[in-house]
């Protein structure tokens, strides 16, 4: 059984594409890569994460993919997948099976500490509505979420260490 923590959101299946059962997925993240093409995509069908073998895929514009899936050989069959969330298995997105692939949203609940060990707060929300992603902390502070500022992520202790320019953490 596939669990929610095992997957990462790719996007939403918006419509069928052609008569051969292909579907169009509008991507929320650019996760498909020719070098590491996943074997499966996961659809949320009535709150059950259901895998489909990915036979082929191609980009359509800047933010969409056309997917060809095993067993989807007609427009009628493919129509059942429309308006559903589409996920990829996290383990398929990294070359190192020991490395955990995290999104900013996965860090909600993590304690944020400066590189010197000063507690800055706990991430209560992530604002991705602007070009600069922000961590909203429980004490009202706003901290920029950028991989260049993260020095360490301790998943077992749910701690995020950041090297922030002086004064930045008190926004």
User: Do 87 and 44 touch, CB atoms closer than 8 A?
Assistant: yes
Predicted TM-score (pTM) of the model is 0.60
Which tens digits make up the pLDDT trace of 50-59? 999 999 999 8
Which tens digits make up the pLDDT trace of 28-68? 877 777 656 788 899 999 889 999 999 999 989 888 999 99
What tokens does 125 get? 């929300």
Q: In the prediction, which pLDDT does 74 show?
A: 93
Residue showing tokens 């979420």: 145
User: Do 69 and 41 touch, CB atoms closer than 8 A?
Assistant: yes
Q: Kindly list the distances between the CA atom of residue 127 and the CA atoms of 11, 62, 131, 145, in Å, as whole numbers in the listed order.
A: 18, 22, 10, 9
Task: Output 25 or 115, whichever has higher pLDDT.
Answer: 25
Q: In the prediction, which pLDDT does 4 show?
A: 82
Distance CA 9, CA 115 (A): 30
- Domains belonging to the chain, first-starting first, are 4-93 (2.40.30.60), 104-170 (2.30.30.240)
Q: In the prediction, which pLDDT does 171 show?
A: 46
User: Residue 94 — very low, low, confident or very high, per pLDDT cuts 50/70/90?
Assistant: low
Task: Output 95 or 130, whichever has higher pLDDT.
Answer: 130
> What three-state secondary structure class fits 138?
coil
């Amino acid at each position: 059984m596939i669990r929610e923590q095992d997957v990462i959101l790719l996007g939403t299946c918006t419509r069928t594409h052609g008569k051969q059962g292909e579907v169009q997925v509008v991507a929320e993240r650019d996760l498909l890569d020719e070098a590491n093409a996943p074997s499966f995509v996961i659809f949320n069908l009535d709150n059950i994460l259901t895998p489909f073998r990915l036979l082929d895929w191609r980009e359509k514009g800047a933010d969409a993919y056309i997917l060809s899936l095993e067993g989807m050989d007609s427009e009628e069959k493919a129509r059942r997948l429309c308006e559903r969330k589409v996920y990829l298995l996290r383990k398929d997105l990294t070359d190192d099976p020991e490395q955990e692939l995290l999104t900013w949203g996965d860090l909600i609940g993590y304690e944020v500490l400066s590189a010197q060990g000063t507690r800055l707060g706990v991430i209560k929300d992530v604002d991705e509505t602007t070009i600069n992603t922000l961590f909203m902390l429980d004490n009202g502070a706003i901290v920029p979420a950028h991989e260049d500022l993260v020095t360490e992520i301790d998943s077992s202790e749910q701690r995020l260490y950041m090297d922030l320019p002086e004064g930045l953490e008190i926004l």
